[in-house]
Amino acid sequence: MKWSGKNRLKMGYAGETLDVDRFFSDLSCWVDSQSVWQLNWLNQEDPRSRIPVVTAGNWRESGIYISAGIHGDEPAGSLACLDFLQNFQVPSGFSAICLPLLNPSGMRLGTRENDRGHDMNREFLAEISDEIRALKAHISDEAQFRLAVFLHEDWESQGFYLYELFRNESALRYGEQLLNYLQSIHGEAIPIDRSPVIDGRDAENGLISGRIADHLERPDWPEAFFINSRFCEVTYTLESPSDLDLTPRIHLLSLALRYLIDQVQEN
């Protein structure tokens, strides 16, 4: 593990960037090479902002929801989705929707916001950007997800952490287990952020856990609020520390995603 210190100097993400055209071409080539996952595109009217959607099975009925790259300065999440898609052994009856790059225009610029300057992860009520309108319309009201995972990165953090959001106390939750698992498997490459307060919220050993009902008055809904309140009992927002090298961040996010999927598949 080696902190570069570059993010702090820049006061923002200063690491490796993602080549969006190459990413799309790698994704398309891989989809063409197999028969389980299909690739479609949302928001096609704007070539800078078209969004790839990769699905398996009847994803609106108890599928798994995965998204990444809503912030264009967080490349590891998108690459972790590709790694996951390429390496996950799909069990029979499995269904999922994976949105590996929700903000392609921002990813091209290396900015958190899209190329119109909007942080799309604050617009799930207001629907300012076409990308978010297209995504919300695509999910449709009847969908139900068994699990939803949002892959993010934090340029300031001193380790991995996650937000666990749930509707009811009784829901099965895996956040704490996941952090223990990652520590045991991957702890030398990327540590857990054990700060008592992360991003202004109380945290315990990398876990920020809370009831969705306590947050819904906030007007600037992130994707997690929208998906959790309407479609999924428990959701996870994973945050890798982006001052570390890209490769272990990709590996960590992909490993965490697979772990959560394994847990819900077993229960």
Give the separation between CA 121 and CA 102, rounded to whole angstroms: 10
Q: Closer to Zn ion at the Cβ: 52 or 75? A: 75
Q: Which stretch binds Zn ion (CB under 5 A): 63-71, 165-173, 180-188, 207-215?
A: 63-71
Query: DSSP character for 90?
Result: P
What are the angstrom distances between the C-alpha of 9 and each of 6, 200, 225?
Answer: 5, 22, 32
Q: Closer to Zn ion at the Cβ: 74 or 115? A: 74
- Tell me how far, at minimum, the Cβ of 152 lies from Zn ion, in Å: 3
- Tell me how far, at minimum, the Cβ of 165 lies from Zn ion, in Å: 15
- Tell me how far, at minimum, the Cβ of 74 lies from Zn ion, in Å: 5
The residues with which 69 forms a beta bridge, in sequence order, are: none
Q: Which stretch binds Zn ion (CB under 5 A): 24-32, 150-158, 173-181, 244-252?
A: 150-158
- Tell me how far, at minimum, the Cβ of 97 lies from Zn ion, in Å: 19
> Nearest to Zn ion by Cβ — which residue?
152
Select the residue interacting with Zn ion from 50, 60, 108, 152 (CB under 5 A): 152
Q: How many CA atoms lie within 13 A of 59 on its CB side?
A: 19
Q: Contact between 122 and Zn ion (CB under 5 A)?
A: no
Tell me which residues in 72-91 interact with Zn ion (CB under 5 A): 74
Q: Contact between 71 and Zn ion (CB under 5 A)?
A: yes
Enumerate helices (H) and strands (E) in the chain, giving the number of each. Answer: 8, 10
Q: How many residues interact with Zn ion (rule CB under 5 A)?
A: 3
Q: Closer to Zn ion at the Cβ: 67 or 183? A: 67
What track of x and - describes contact with Zn ion for positions 157 through 196 (by CB under 5 A)?
----------------------------------------
Q: Closer to Zn ion at the Cβ: 71 or 108? A: 71
Per-residue DSSP letters for 181-231?
A: HHHHHHTTTS-B---SEETTEE-BTTEEEEEGGGTTT-SS--HHHHHHHHH
Q: Contact between 118 and Zn ion (CB under 5 A)?
A: no
Burial of 259 (0-12, 13-18, 19+ CB in 10 A): middle
Spatial contact of 39 and 51, defined as CB atoms under 8 Å apart: no
Q: Contact between 249 and Zn ion (CB under 5 A)?
A: no
CA nearest to 54, candidates 19, 23, 75: 23
Residues binding Zn ion (CB under 5 A):
71, 74, 152
